[in-house]
């Protein structure tokens, strides 16, 4: 039993979804439900067609309208708190919206909350957050001078990477968060955050350390991708590259007259 539980945990099954255990062996097999012709007709085609990719459980157009209606960060957080379009919310303890200074010149964007962030409701408070704080301190920054958010504001079960659909659905909210903070500089942390913000399929190793000018909604901003602190914890030798990126960030702030 312990081995089975351990395997479940490794596979991401780390919370109970019901108060009472269910004995599936005692249940009868469910009768097979015939697919109705109308349902079959509505099923997505396997290939061909140019329709926008569907997002499971949510409508990106609705997300865009909701996000646009927020006139400040407090309103955006409230909207996200009552938004039920993203399935991640169902398994998360709470929304992890953002942390730091909502008027900062520097915004950091990570991938997704982990277990500790999910418990505390704040981004980057676990081990990788502690490393992030040390990286920021090394160039004279702290959370009073940066704002931190994630590509998705709910913890994916078992800390898996958010799916492209989940990130696409949450993107209008993240874009609005960027517009409202209006940072001069963005640093993305890790591959998924970089791919989402920079709208690229390139890998983080190739892209890290390079500056681009991004248009995020109506806000234009200088942006640099770097490695994720969790990756640095697993691959300490890569800290040298991350340090170059942090120095690049410091230099950019000096160039912009912000440091």
Question: Which parts of this chain interact with ligand URA (CB under 6 A)?
Answer: 110-114, 117, 123-124, 126, 128-129, 150, 230
What gap in Å lies between CA 94 and CA 89, rounded to an integer?
7
User: In the bound complex, what is the minimum distance in angstroms from residue 43's beta carbon to ligand URA?
Assistant: 35
* Among candidate residues 197, 199, 187, 189, the one with its CA nearest the CA of residue 231: 189
Q: Which is nearer to ligand URA, 111 or 166 (CB)?
A: 111
User: In the bound complex, what is the minimum distance in angstroms from residue 230's beta carbon to ligand URA?
Assistant: 6
User: In the bound complex, what is the minimum distance in angstroms from residue 11's beta carbon to ligand URA?
Assistant: 20
**Which residues are paired to 149 by β-bridges?**
109
- For 165, the token pair is 């659909």
Q: Which is nearer to ligand URA, 129 or 183 (CB)?
A: 129
- What is the residue whose two structure tokens read 């909350």? 113
For residue 244, how many other CB atoms are within 10 A of its CB? Answer: 13
Q: Which is nearer to ligand URA, 64 or 102 (CB)?
A: 102
Element (H, E) at 2: helix 2-10
User: In the bound complex, what is the minimum distance in angstroms from residue 147's beta carbon to ligand URA?
Assistant: 13
Contacts of 167 by beta carbon, 8 Å cutoff, 6+ apart: 151, 152, 192, 196
Q: Which is nearer to ligand URA, 61 or 137 (CB)?
A: 137
When CB distances to ligand URA are compared, the closest residue is 110
């Amino acid at each position: 039993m312990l081995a089975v539980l351990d395997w479940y945990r490794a596979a991401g099954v780390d919370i109970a979804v019901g108060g009472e255990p269910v004995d599936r062996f005692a249940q009868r097999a469910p009768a097979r439900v015939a697919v109705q012709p109308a349902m079959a007709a509505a099923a997505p085609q396997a290939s061909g067609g140019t329709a926008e990719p569907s997002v499971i459980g949510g409508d990106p157009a609705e997300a865009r309208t909701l996000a646009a209606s927020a006139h400040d960060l407090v309103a955006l957080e409230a909207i996200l708190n009552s938004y039920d379009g993203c399935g991640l919310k169902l398994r998360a303890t709470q929304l992890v919206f953002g942390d730091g200074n909502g008027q900062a010149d520097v915004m950091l964007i990570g991938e997704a909350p982990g277990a500790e962030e999910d418990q505390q409701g704040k981004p980057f408070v676990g081990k990788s957050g502690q490393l992030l704080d040390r990286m920021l301190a090394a160039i004279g920054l702290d959370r009073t001078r940066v704002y931190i958010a994630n590509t998705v504001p709910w913890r994916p079960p078992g800390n898996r990477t958010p799916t492209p659909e989940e990130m696409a659905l949450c993107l209008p909210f993240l874009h609005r968060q960027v517009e409202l903070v209006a940072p001069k500089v963005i640093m993305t942390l890790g591959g998924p955050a970089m791919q989402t913000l920079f709208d690229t399929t390139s890998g983080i190793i190739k892209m890290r350390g390079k500056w681009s000018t991004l248009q995020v909604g109506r806000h234009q901003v200088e942006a640099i991708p770097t490695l994720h602190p969790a990756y640095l914890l697993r691959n300490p030798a890569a800290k040298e590259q991350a340090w170059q990126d942090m120095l690049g960030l410091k230099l950019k702030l000096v160039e912009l007259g912000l440091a």
